[in-house]
Structure 1
């Protein structure tokens, strides 16, 4: 997002309020719509070849949807949704607000932001975001990996207490897999923001609102898709580290590059891209949805609560 162009600077607290509301709204809607695909992605990533004879072993996206519906019911598609919903408001506010702050830093006094500026700002925003969301990711993956049904499924709070009581808050507990999350979010946001803003700058906006909507939707979709393809190995490593270990009582996956190397050696190169289809199905359109929802909600707030002497909203 590029900050609004104003003759009178909007106060930081007001800007932050707009970002929290806009980002929170966009994040909540995106999670509710796309969460089933995130769940399927996680299930595919944490299963290994040793459990192929399990009747609940998934051979693909649609097989996973079918078997989950059969064995766990339709509500199972939204297992683990509470942690991401709880974190979306501060996460999205931090994501866009920190991107703007990093962008100012990496402009180095220049009046024009370059693709390098967007790349560095995206990386900074991704790392900052990862540190905030990792504990929620640990709880979410634990809930998503649970294949029990009905009252046997632990609540978000009970799962959080289980993790803390068993492993604490550190690298074996709520902050397990932090470096993998940093790698995943850092790579994603670097490509997501740099591609979107750089490409959008090359193509002038359309005067027709419908064409302009399609222009932004298309660029956002490609941004989310490319970013998803680039960070999948880190995502697989994160899921293996944060998910249940193959052998109870032993830790097989404990480091980002250790997990990536081990998966490659034991299961082959393509295992590093497990969950690619549901991930792209989610983050391709999901990335576009996020950018558009954020922009339109932000524009609505900007028009409803204008700053004195402010000009029109700049590009987002």
Structure 2
């Protein structure tokens, strides 16, 4: 679906696209952080020999509450916010710049294939920038489930990254970068490209507003979840793994997928699907709504004109 655009001279500066995109992502993360923790705990939980640590997402929530308390759901929040300040800032900024460049050149919104390619590029850029905070986030959220003797006990995201560099080397911050980039490319291709298409399809039945954003983002979130979860599982396992006697537990993303399929079953690649979906859909809704409102405020109070849209 293609929409024509009248381009005027007043636009949001490129650096502000990054700032607003990252801010919207951070605001959404504060809301969905508990669901991200549940998803991560389920993905790293052992499932071999029929001894599952968690029987379901609700069982995971119950056990975390009983053993660690309510505040445990916000373990790793500093790393989660740092991830949004890096990963989401990069991907949203790059994508908005790509879309605006396309509209300036062709005076219309990108077609589906163009949006998919733009999403892939934005996802790869975001993954490269955000991987260090991703490693810190995964480790901090998983720490409390380890025996006390094996816990890393990072104080915050900055402490985690400093200690990782000091104890394991600089490039450990980019451990799992390939599956992270693969997941980010798939996620952004599906999420960013499909969101505007779903909005366009639903707009003939639903007026512009929150309900339209929710419907479009839930559909986009479901598609994104199914496509990206195996790579997300591989990324999580690689970033959490320990190196014992100089030998890492996994050699790469394919090795993770093969071992999980062989030892835990094919559908274990989608372990944590419910909290992942429950995280993706609200995060998409909140991030897009916040971004549209932030853009709206910038156009109104800084540029002195009505908003032309979020750029997504």
Q: Under TM normalisation by the shorter chain, which class is it? A: 0.7 to 0.9
State the partner residue of 1:166.
Answer: 167
Which shifted more, 85-94 or 279-288? 85-94
Which shifted more, 90-99 or 227-236? 90-99
State the partner residue of 1:237.
Answer: 234
Is 1:93 the equivalent of 2:92? Answer: no
> 1:84, CA displacement in angstroms?
1.8
Determine which structure has greater relative contact order: mean sequence separation of CA pairs < 8 Å that are 6+ residues apart, divided by chain length. 1
The 1:27–1:107 alpha-carbon spacing in structure 2 relative to 1, beyond 3 Å, is closer
SS of 2:67 mapped into structure 1: helix
Identify which of 27, 46, 65 aligns with 2:61: 65
The 1:38–1:25 alpha-carbon spacing in structure 2 relative to 1, beyond 3 Å, is same
Is 1:252 the equivalent of 2:253? Answer: no
Which shifted more, 85-94 or 131-140? 85-94
The 1:106–1:304 alpha-carbon spacing in structure 2 relative to 1, beyond 3 Å, is closer
The 1:203–1:72 alpha-carbon spacing in structure 2 relative to 1, beyond 3 Å, is closer
> 1:188, CA displacement in angstroms?
0.5
SS of 1:7 mapped into structure 2: coil
> 1:101, CA displacement in angstroms?
3.3
Does the 8 Å CA contact 1:34/1:286 hold for their aligned counterparts? yes
SS of 1:154 mapped into structure 2: coil
> 1:100, CA displacement in angstroms?
2.8
Which shifted more, 252-261 or 87-96? 87-96
Residues 116-136 of structure 1 show CA distances to partners (whole Å, capped at 9, x for unaligned) of 110100111111111011111
The 1:258–1:244 alpha-carbon spacing in structure 2 relative to 1, beyond 3 Å, is closer
- Cα distance in 2 between the residues matched to 1:207 and 1:194: 20
- Cα distance in 1 between the residues matched to 2:63 and 2:297: 42
The 1:314–1:3 alpha-carbon spacing in structure 2 relative to 1, beyond 3 Å, is farther
Residues 62-85 of structure 1 show CA distances to partners (whole Å, capped at 9, x for unaligned) of 111111121112111111111121
Does the 8 Å CA contact 1:236/1:273 hold for their aligned counterparts? yes
The 1:51–1:286 alpha-carbon spacing in structure 2 relative to 1, beyond 3 Å, is farther
Is 1:41 the equivalent of 2:36? Answer: no
- Count of residue pairs brought into register by the alignment: 303
Is 1:183 the equivalent of 2:182? Answer: yes
Q: CA RMSD for the aligned pairs?
A: 3.0
Unaligned runs of 5+ in 1: none
> 1:144, CA displacement in angstroms?
1.1
The 1:208–1:118 alpha-carbon spacing in structure 2 relative to 1, beyond 3 Å, is closer
Which shifted more, 252-261 or 188-197? 252-261
> 1:285, CA displacement in angstroms?
1.7
> 1:104, CA displacement in angstroms?
5.9
Unaligned runs of 5+ in 2: none
- Cα distance in 2 between the residues matched to 1:245 and 1:131: 22
TM-score (norm 2): 0.86
- Cα distance in 1 between the residues matched to 2:286 and 2:124: 22
Which shifted more, 40-49 or 100-109? 100-109
> 1:262, CA displacement in angstroms?
1.8
Is 1:219 the equivalent of 2:181? Answer: no
> 1:4, CA displacement in angstroms?
8.4
